[in-house]
Structure 1
Amino acid sequence: MLLQKGYVTTRRRIIIAGLILFLVLYVFTSWSEPAEDISCHYLEVDDALPSADDYSFSPSDKSIFFHETSCTANLTSRQSCAIESAARAHRYFEIHVLFSSPVSEATLHESNLKELTIFDNIRFSRIHIVKYAEGTPVADLVKSGALNRTQWKISHTSDVLRFLTLYKWGGIYLDLDVVVARTLDHLAKNWAARESNTAVATGALAFSRDEIGRSIATATIREIQTNFRGDKWGYNGPGVITRVLKKMCTTNNVTLMSAAYCGGFEVYKPEFFYPIKWQQERNILRRAS
């Protein structure tokens, strides 16, 4: 009788332990983010946009670039607002919106993209990422499929492409959530902005085609070529520009970085582009709701 009771108790413990393990695995898989799919970057079908991969794509010296690296093949209202704000504030600039995925004729004429076609300075183009990187320091990195092996495929693709685009063409890069409140042409020719006392951000960058711009563009793309990491979220974005500027400005103190210390490359204070810390965003939105 005692043996039978002990057997039942042990069996009960095993069942309970199994249920706990099942619940832990269920919660973990439910809360973890789904794997990002960027297979669209390698498709060459149903594409209504001109290519930005070859010699026919020739942006002007006054260009602002946006990159759309998800596979939605469209723009959200907020993204459209960001692009429109840049176009309205910079009538004499070319505003280039570069899609990493195919965009169909239907999407081009029946979506948020249609609303932006009324602006004669907005241009949509398609990037085939392997071709786009050919002949650059990151060609082998991109061709190796390294961007497909990171946890943050969309974000890391965006990180690489912003530096690659500025390396290839020069100009201004803006994230698709940057709404321009006033023209940027009163700023220095080459600039970035701090997001904190420890890091320079990459949501807004300007590398011109002059000697200073070419120097910083080459240094950042070489940094990605040599030190790309797929296991750290910000390593290939803010991490790149921060590490490069620490060498260029010969200081590890980000708050001291300025044109005077950085060979003519300007580093603006957080209030220029990042007045609200990303850590505070949820609290502000919660209070506003």
Structure 2
Amino acid sequence: MYKIYSVFYICKIARMINKLIIKLRRRRVLTSCVVLVILCGYIVLQTPLSPDLYFIHWNSLEDISCHYIDLDNTLPRAESEEFQPPSRSIFFHETSCKGYLDSRQACAVESAARAHPGWQINVLFAAPVHKNSLKNGSLSVLRNFTNIRLSRVHITNYAKRTPLESMVSGGALNRTRWRISHTSDVLRYLSLYKFGGVYLDLDVVVAKALDPLVRNWAARETDTAVAAGALAFSRDELGRSVAEAAIRDIKSNYRGDNWGNNGPGVITRILKKYCSTSNLSQMSAATCNGFEVYGPQFFYPVVYWKGFEYFEPGEIKLEDTAYIFHVWNKLTSDLPVHKDSPYAKLARKYCPTVYNLYGKDFLLPVRKKP
């Protein structure tokens, strides 16, 4: 009887081992398939115009295919030899595929042009701009300002003969969750690297001319970050040095999985090295080899988590101090504008043409406008 049980258990153990071997074989096959899929995905991700396989947001995948086409565009090319902006230039970049400026973006451009009549205000579109957009809406009135120049940027050509040429042509800006934002990050540093001047975000209101400021500057947003929404790199030795450091940083540290890494992250990292300190409040022209780091009161008088205050009835402190008001469009574009809000008052004062063009529609949320 003992021998019979022994044989029984031996057979049972043998069957278990056999099943385990079969499972292991299946797992090896499955593992091989997974490895193959990953390998194929990696190969696809190295090609230009690759899909956003890393960080897809199924409900809000940003389409930037317009950056690589030239259909229905009527604007001159910013990468042509004819595009030679003067040293006193301000650059705005529109990197969505809509091919026009909404009311708040147009307000930013008009306010910059009014504050700087002797400067060239460059609005560079990453998308084609159709001739109808120039005849209607905000572009039709902005074209009447003699110091505003509208141009089209083909980003792959714009990056040629710069340290970012291979990164851009290799499709890095398609391998990110924030394609529009990260394209803007790269373009702002490219423009300052190529031409020098001032870069401004399109969600600002310019209240005063920037002429009294030093030639090379940035501004702290908080005690932990130098912002990239307003930057000035001149064509002098200092400006060239900082611009080149920024381009090298993007090339070495570009990441598609971190929203701020390629914008404020760039200027913050290079200034920590340039100023030999990680304490942002200690950064100034005296400690940064002549590069000035202004306090937030001059460019970011309202911190981003209080951005809603621009759109509610009330007043904004430091209005006499600030050169620029940044209204944090990423967080506030779905908010309506109260007619007695700080933003409405700023718009009536500093971009009256655009404000009057839109009328009551100026008070609507940008995302809900017809």
| Pairwise CA distance, 1:284 | 6.2
1: CA distance between counterparts of 2:70 and 2:206? 33
Aligned ranges for residues 107-122 of structure 1 at < 5 Å? Answer: 107-122=133-148
Identity %: 59
Secondary structure of the corresponding residue to residue 146 of structure 2: coil
Aligned ranges for residues 151-230 of structure 1 at < 5 Å? Answer: 151-230=177-256
Deviation string, structure 1 residues 23-74 (Cα, Å, up to 9, x no partner): xxxxxxxx97510000000011111000011211100011000000000100
Residue aligning to 2:49: none
Indicate which of 55, 66, 71 corresponds to 2:97.
71
Secondary structure of the corresponding residue to residue 293 of structure 2: strand
Length, aligned pairs only? 259
Aligned ranges for residues 6-155 of structure 1 at < 5 Å? Answer: 33-155=59-181
Give the TM-score, by structure 2 length. Answer: 0.68
Indicate which of 235, 240, 243 corresponds to 2:261.
235
1: CA distance between counterparts of 2:241 and 2:311? 40
1: CA distance between counterparts of 2:242 and 2:59? 35
1: CA distance between counterparts of 2:209 and 2:174? 36
Secondary structure of the corresponding residue to residue 179 of structure 1: strand
1: CA distance between counterparts of 2:188 and 2:244? 13
Secondary structure of the corresponding residue to residue 151 of structure 2: strand
Deviation string, structure 1 residues 229-258 (Cα, Å, up to 9, x no partner): 000000000000000000000001011000
Q: After TM superposition, where is structure 1 displaced by more than 4 Å over at least 4 residues in a row?
A: 283-289
Secondary structure of the corresponding residue to residue 206 of structure 2: coil
| Pairwise CA distance, 1:178 | 1.4
Which ranges in structure 1 are unaligned for 5 or more consecutive residues? 1-30
2: CA distance between counterparts of 1:54 and 1:214? 21
| Pairwise CA distance, 1:220 | 0.3
Deviation string, structure 1 residues 124-178 (Cα, Å, up to 9, x no partner): 0000000000000111110011101100000000000000000000000000011
2: CA distance between counterparts of 1:33 and 1:237? 24
Which ranges in structure 2 are unaligned for 5 or more consecutive residues? 1-56, 315-337, 339-370
- Paired residue type of 1:99: F
1: CA distance between counterparts of 2:297 and 2:312? 22
| Pairwise CA distance, 1:106 | 1.0
Deviation string, structure 1 residues 234-289 (Cα, Å, up to 9, x no partner): 00000000000000000010110000000100000010101111012236646766
2: CA distance between counterparts of 1:40 and 1:203? 24
1: CA distance between counterparts of 2:134 and 2:159? 25
* Cα root mean square deviation, aligned: 1.4
